[in-house]
Amino acid sequence: MPEAMTSAMPSAMTHRHYRVARHAAQPVLRPASAFNFPLVTPRDYAAITDLLPVGADAPVLLDHAQYFEWLARVVGELRAQLPGARIFLELRMPSVGSLPEGLLRADVLMGAELAAEAAFWAAHGAAPVVWIGDRIRRELDHAADNTLAIAVAPPAAVATVEAVVARPWPAHAITIVSTAPSPSPTRPTP
């Protein structure tokens, strides 16, 4: 059974933690969706049960497509507010469809364990650096808890990034609110 995920956060950058919650003031209609991995043989069905988390109870607030649409909006706004910024997205695949063009540009890097890459640019580059690591639950086979962490350099850019990220997103029916770090969402950077 998959346990909770933890990601290292970039050192020498300012960290902030958030919770992603339902924002139902204005309903958003979306077609129902579910990503069903194609299962063919009995062995496939046995294998998929290994992936299903037990005890994860966070609601799915964004499905895969909605999640990447929202993320592309975040990136677009960061790009507009912090020209030249480098953006690191610690994200879980699959995408289940082509990613928005804005996420594929050269100022964005998507992957896992990107803390050291973000720290490299915070140390070497003149432009702001934003690292985003989320545990937004997009599917029931995903043991995430709808939390989000960011790391920003330089400190002068933190308020701008917070203003972009931590607010209601009515078009996506979510709101992102500041929170103290939960007991074990991150582990120390090695």
Q: Which stretch binds other proteins (CB under 8 A): 25-33, 36-44, 145-153, 165-173?
A: 36-44
> Is 27 or 38 the residue whose CB approaches other proteins more closely?
38
Least distance (Å) between residue 123 CB and other proteins: 10
Binding mask 146-165 for other proteins (x = CB under 8 A): --------------------
52 binds other proteins (CB under 8 A): no
C-alpha distances (whole Å) from 163 to each of 24, 147, 169, 178 are 21, 17, 12, 11
Nearest by Cα to 70 from 145, 169, 178: 169
What count of other Cβ atoms lies within 10 Å of the Cβ of residue 101? 8
Q: Which stretch binds other proteins (CB under 8 A): 56-64, 77-85, 114-122, 152-160?
A: 114-122
2 binds other proteins (CB under 8 A): yes
Identify residue 17 by its one-letter amino acid code: H
Tokens of 106: 């050269």
DSSP H/E element including 75: helix 64-81
Q: Which stretch binds other proteins (CB under 8 A): 19-27, 87-95, 155-163, 175-183?
A: 87-95
